[in-house]
Structure 1
Amino acid sequence: MFRLRNLVSVVVFVGLVAGGSWLVLNRQLVLDHIRVWQYQPSQDIATLADRATMTNKAKFSFYLAQPRLENATQFNHDCRRIEQASPIVGCYSHAKETIHIYNVRNAELDGIKEVTAAHEMLHVAWSRYSAEQRRRLGELLEAAYTKVKTKKLEERMAYYERAQPGTRANELHSILGTEFADLGSELEAHYAEYFSNRAALLKLHAQYNEKFTSAEAEADALAASLARRKREIEQLTASYHARINAYNQDVAAFNQRATTGGFQTQAEFQTERNRLSQRGLALRREQQTIQGKVDAYNTDVEKLNALGRKIDQLNQSLDSQKAVK
């Protein structure tokens, strides 16, 4: 019995040593589990995670950062804007390891909070990757970026280079994963660990993003049309003024001839009078045509102004600083 008890003690001691070693090697993981266990998400936060189709792995990273949905005043306090002209709707504070999401209330932008939550969650996930994981993901992300990049995405990445140098791979990891499809089989498999239905998440992004892109595209097309039509109206107006001046001079000359006996016969007088009358009618029709173009132009100017106001309203919906002014 004595020998058996000693054997049991040795086994227990070895187990404790092994367990202690595991705790040392996985200290961060243990602390993360404790932090998640202590966090109780609100119904709003839980709904964001569900609508973003976050898997349990993703929810672990999300809840690890104790996400908060905040009004403008609190959000402005927690999230520092780097460039005043570039509003933000979410941030991950590395120092406090917390996620902050601006509570955008514009119903037209439904889905933006979910996509923002997913974006910031991927920042948390990135913070726990090893150097080798980041290196490999960086290669895949750059390859995918080359494939899907747009002018707006290039401008966005240039902003991060200015505002947050050294974060390119981290930002690409969050942007591509929540906004772009067809990233390659290895990246798609990687993101499948975080989203049970990434296509649904991308659809949320496309729906609210389309509100901006469609209004901007319509405004751009209308502005180009107005510029072309303005030049046309100016040319028509200049030509009309030249012809009306010539007409007025001919009328004056006709009247001078009529009062000084310049016409040899009544028939000659009537012929010249009819010719001037037809020119006058043609000029009136020309003036009416130009006025119709001017009226249509002014109508579309008002339409462009309305589109501008709509775009401003959409942008202001995302601007937490303007919300408190």
Structure 2
Amino acid sequence: MDVPIAPDDLPRSPTGRVPQWVVDERTGRAIAPQGWLPPDVDETPPPAPRRRVRWQLPTVLVLAALIATWALTGGGAGVPDALASVPWLTGAASSEPSTPPTAEVVALADAAYLSAEGRDLFFGTTPQVLDAATFGDRCTDSPAAIGVPAGAAVGCYLPSEHSIVLYRPADARLQGYVVETAAHETLHAAWELLGDDEQGQLNTLLEAEVATLATDDPIHEQIAGSVGTHPENRPTELFAYVGTQVWRDGGLAPALETVYARFVNDRAALVAVHTGWQGMLDQLVADIDTASQALADQEYANASTRAQLEADTDGVAAYRSAYADKLAEVDALPAEQRSGLQLSWVWWDGTDLPMRPADETLAAAAALLARDDADLAARTAAVDAADGAAAAERARVEGLVADVNALQAQLDPTTG
């Protein structure tokens, strides 16, 4: 079948994503309400929750705050009847995955602090962890992901295939990003295990918890951008976002933590994964900001020092010329006139040469010139060294920026 591709001019949420409902409306694709379906209804499973990331990174000496934009979309509150026979989706006892989990998948489960039930759920989706070359459109050319722009997704949970696909950046420093994505998608799958009553109770608690967060917390924009105009998707988004990103001392509402504990052994540690990798990127930008400001100050100071050095060099050159002229003038005088001649001079730097015989004043001026030559040579060497150090620091800062830019590229499978 032909799969419609989303035009580039589709409306986007504040996080930069194209919600599935926008694609559906533009392409005319009919979407049935999500929820439990009667046995005689054969419907396509709901769109899969998926994650996208957009970063705004600094440039040398002109820095902006590093903003992590996270968006997930799709995933309804119920499980279609077509999937009712899948044990891990209906709440029945988990079965062993048809393919044993790879060592990498097991390591992700360990790093995400998944419980036994969470691990069974995660492993039951037969997770695939792919690099940029193999990830490609795995999360965009599925029927559950029709029209999602290439490069938008970095991981997805596909109910129709009861599978999770994850993109793995090549840079090991972003491993926490993969861990969080795995946990987030697992929590979307976990939400499907809960009954309607339990989901309703948890949704009330989740809304209350999110309401306590600062109004400028990016999670509000992330959730709103994921939900769009499909409020039925808000509960599963709340469950996944809060579960991976929100923690306070003592935990959240006890009933909420009790459900999370079914799937995550140490949720505080899981949230620390989120704050850890994001904090690493934030710290890189903060280091660039600090280093860039110090570099700008040093380069300004160097420029001021060199300007003063050049002015003083010009001043010494003028006095050198005046000294030469005066020396030639005195040497041209008759001997008896020269012997009675007296001179005084105020040097360029304010040094006073009082009235004395001309030969003595000229000798003192020559000594000042020799002093000035030595001083100017030392100052020139110092400012040259300072400029060299600043150039080396500029190269270092530009290297830091290149490193952060490379990390940003790693976050996008199309450039990673």
Both proteins in one fold, TM over 0.5: yes
Distance in 2 between residues matched to 1:54 and 1:38, nearest whole Å: 16
| 8 Å CA contact retained: 1:179, 1:205 | yes
TM-score normalised over the length of structure 1: 0.74
User: What is the aligned partner in structure 2 of residue 235 from structure 1?
Assistant: 304
Aligned-pair CA distance for 1:226: 1.0
| 8 Å CA contact retained: 1:157, 1:168 | no
User: What is the aligned partner in structure 1 of residue 383 from structure 2?
Assistant: 290
Letter in 2 for 1:126: W
| 8 Å CA contact retained: 1:90, 1:116 | yes
Distance in 2 between residues matched to 1:244 and 1:170, nearest whole Å: 73
Describe the SS at the equivalent of 1:226: helix
TM-score normalised over the length of structure 2: 0.59
User: What is the aligned partner in structure 2 of residue 7 from structure 1?
Assistant: none
| 8 Å CA contact retained: 2:173, 2:277 | yes
Aligned-pair CA distance for 1:136: 0.9
Describe the SS at the equivalent of 2:98: coil
| 8 Å CA contact retained: 2:168, 2:175 | no
User: What is the aligned partner in structure 1 of residue 178 from structure 2?
Assistant: 113
| 8 Å CA contact retained: 2:313, 2:376 | yes
Distance in 2 between residues matched to 1:136 and 1:231, nearest whole Å: 57
- 1:51 matched to 2:119: no
Aligned-pair CA distance for 1:221: 1.1
Letter in 1 for 2:306: T
Distance in 2 between residues matched to 1:258 and 1:100, nearest whole Å: 89
Matches within 5 A, 1:1-325: 30-33=84-87, 37=95, 39-44=97-102, 45-59=105-119, 61-63=121-123, 65-80=125-140, 88-93=153-158, 96-127=161-192, 130=196, 132-133=200-201, 135-146=203-214, 154=218, 158=221, 161-162=224-225, 165-166=228-229, 170-182=236-248, 184-186=252-254, 187-261=256-330, 265-323=358-416
Q: Structure 1 residues 40 and 47 mapped into 2: Cα distance closer, same or farther (>3 Å)?
A: farther
Distance in 2 between residues matched to 1:34 and 1:266, nearest whole Å: 106
Describe the SS at the equivalent of 2:113: coil
Letter in 1 for 2:294: S
Q: Structure 1 residues 146 and 189 mapped into 2: Cα distance closer, same or farther (>3 Å)?
A: farther
Describe the SS at the equivalent of 1:69: strand
Distance in 1 between residues matched to 2:291 and 2:99, nearest whole Å: 46
Q: Structure 1 residues 172 and 26 mapped into 2: Cα distance closer, same or farther (>3 Å)?
A: closer
Letter in 2 for 1:285: A
Describe the SS at the equivalent of 1:54: coil
Distance in 2 between residues matched to 1:171 and 1:293, nearest whole Å: 54
Describe the SS at the equivalent of 2:404: helix
Distance in 2 between residues matched to 1:123 and 1:26, nearest whole Å: 12
User: What is the aligned partner in structure 2 of residue 20 from structure 1?
Assistant: none
Q: Deviations over 1:45-78 (max 9, x none)?
A: 3443243222244345435644322343442212
Aligned-pair CA distance for 1:268: 0.7
Describe the SS at the equivalent of 1:78: coil
Aligned-pair CA distance for 1:290: 1.9
Aligned-pair CA distance for 1:253: 1.4
Q: Deviations over 1:246-274 (max 9, x none)?
A: 22112111111111228652101011122
| 8 Å CA contact retained: 2:261, 2:267 | yes
Distance in 1 between residues matched to 2:80 and 2:329, nearest whole Å: 114
Unpaired runs of 5+ residues, structure 2, are 1-38, 41-77, 141-146, 332-342, 344-356
Aligned-pair CA distance for 1:126: 3.5
Share of identical aligned residues, percent? 20
Distance in 2 between residues matched to 1:178 and 1:159, nearest whole Å: 13
Once superposed, what is the RMSD of the aligned Cα atoms?
3.7
Q: Structure 1 residues 203 and 173 mapped into 2: Cα distance closer, same or farther (>3 Å)?
A: same
Describe the SS at the equivalent of 1:31: coil
Runs of 4+ residues over 6 Å off in structure 1: 23-27, 81-84
| 8 Å CA contact retained: 2:327, 2:362 | yes
Q: Structure 1 residues 246 and 322 mapped into 2: Cα distance closer, same or farther (>3 Å)?
A: same
Q: Structure 1 residues 274 and 176 mapped into 2: Cα distance closer, same or farther (>3 Å)?
A: farther
Q: Structure 1 residues 101 and 26 mapped into 2: Cα distance closer, same or farther (>3 Å)?
A: closer
Describe the SS at the equivalent of 1:256: helix
Distance in 2 between residues matched to 1:40 and 1:316, nearest whole Å: 34
Aligned-pair CA distance for 1:203: 4.4
Q: Deviations over 1:147-187 (max 9, x none)?
A: 9x75xxx2x75466557625666445323422443153434
Q: Structure 1 residues 103 and 41 mapped into 2: Cα distance closer, same or farther (>3 Å)?
A: farther
Letter in 1 for 2:173: E
Structure with the bigger percentage of strand: 2
User: What is the aligned partner in structure 1 of residue 63 from structure 2?
Assistant: none
Distance in 2 between residues matched to 1:232 and 1:298, nearest whole Å: 14
Structure 1 range deviating more: 178-187 or 156-165: 156-165
Q: How many residues align?
A: 295
Q: Deviations over 1:89-140 (max 9, x none)?
A: 3222456553210133433334443322101111223355536246314413
